[in-house]
């Protein structure tokens, strides 16, 4: 074996580590608007800090809003916007970060409400403790507290449970309410329930 081989493998390993590090340092989303008390932290168990406009959120960063507090996030990969309502706690992620293809934006919401506006042709996911909403270029509102409620404004949202089993495909102007793991209702929705979104975006 040539004497230079160990040195070459060391160099390749270093370049791989550097590439992985550079991807992990790329921001996933940027906070473009804040109202009230909004806090963030780099990861679980890290101390909470006040969030401000222009804050960059990286893979696994957590964000939470207080009472009468809201925030708007823009995902770097495709410009998808997420409006975060009051009393919400979530994690921002990008699936496929570091791959050749553009990563997919993802929000893991523990509790609260988010309104997502996803660019045409782009994929996006919002996960709650009981479900995953997967979309491609649409607008929808998802809230989770005692029950889960999905309101689709435009396009189609595929809803599946935490194990990946498909639950429903919800079309525009309809809502899907999941009261418990097996009991669901679906009906036409009144978009006036999203007045907080219209007020916040004007």
Going from N- to C-terminal start, the domains of the chain cover 5-201
Q: How far apart are CA 130 and CA 178, in angstroms?
A: 9
Find, among 144, 142, 138, 108, the residue nearest to 123 by Cα: 138
Q: How far apart are CA 178 and CA 180, in angstroms?
A: 6
Cα radius of gyration (the chain): 19
Paired tokens of 162? 């935490």
CA 165 to centroid of chain Cα atoms: 20
Q: How far apart are CA 23 and CA 103, in angstroms?
A: 11
8 Å CB contact between 133 and 126? yes
Paired tokens of 57? 């959120």
Residue 54 has a CB neighbour count (10 Å cut-off) of: 9
Q: How far apart are CA 42 and CA 113, in angstroms?
A: 21
pLDDT tens digit at each of 202 positions of the chain: 444 565 655 555 544 444 444 445 789 999 999 999 999 999 989 999 999 999 999 999 999 999 999 999 999 988 999 999 999 999 999 987 655 456 789 999 999 999 999 988 888 999 998 889 998 888 888 898 877 888 888 888 888 877 677 677 787 777 776 654 444 555 556 666 677 776 665 5
- Host H or E run for residue 201: helix 195-201
CA torsion, points 158, 62, 58, 92, in degrees to nearest 10?
0
CATH architecture observed for domain 5-201? Sandwich (2.60)
Task: Give the DSSP per-residue string, 10-74.
Answer: HHHHHHHHHHHHHHHTS-SEEEEEEES-EEEESSTTSPPEE--TT-EE-TT-EEEE-TT-EEEEE
């Amino acid at each position: 074996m040539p004497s230079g081989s160990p040195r070459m493998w060391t160099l390749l390993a270093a370049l791989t580590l550097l590439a992985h590090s550079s991807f992990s340092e790329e921001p996933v989303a940027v906070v473009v608007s804040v109202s009230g008390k909004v806090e963030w932290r780099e990861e679980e168990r890290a101390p909470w800090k006040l969030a401000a406009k222009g804050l960059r959120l990286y893979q696994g960063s957590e964000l939470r809003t207080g009472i009468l507090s809201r925030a708007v996030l823009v995902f770097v990969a495709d410009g998808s916007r997420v409006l975060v309502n009051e009393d919400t706690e979530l994690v921002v992620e990008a699936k496929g970060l570091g791959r050749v293809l553009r990563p997919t934006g993802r929000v893991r919401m523990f509790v609260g409400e988010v309104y997502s506006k996803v660019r045409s042709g782009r994929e996006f996911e919002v996960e709650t403790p009981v479900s995953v909403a997967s979309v491609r270029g649409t607008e929808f509102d998802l809230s989770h507290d005692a029950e889960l409620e999905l309101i689709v404004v435009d396009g189609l949202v595929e809803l599946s449970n935490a194990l990946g089993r498909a639950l429903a495909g919800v079309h525009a102007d309809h809502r899907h309410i999941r009261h418990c793991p097996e009991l669901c209702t679906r009906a036409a929705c009144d978009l006036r329930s999203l007045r907080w979104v219209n007020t916040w975006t004007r």
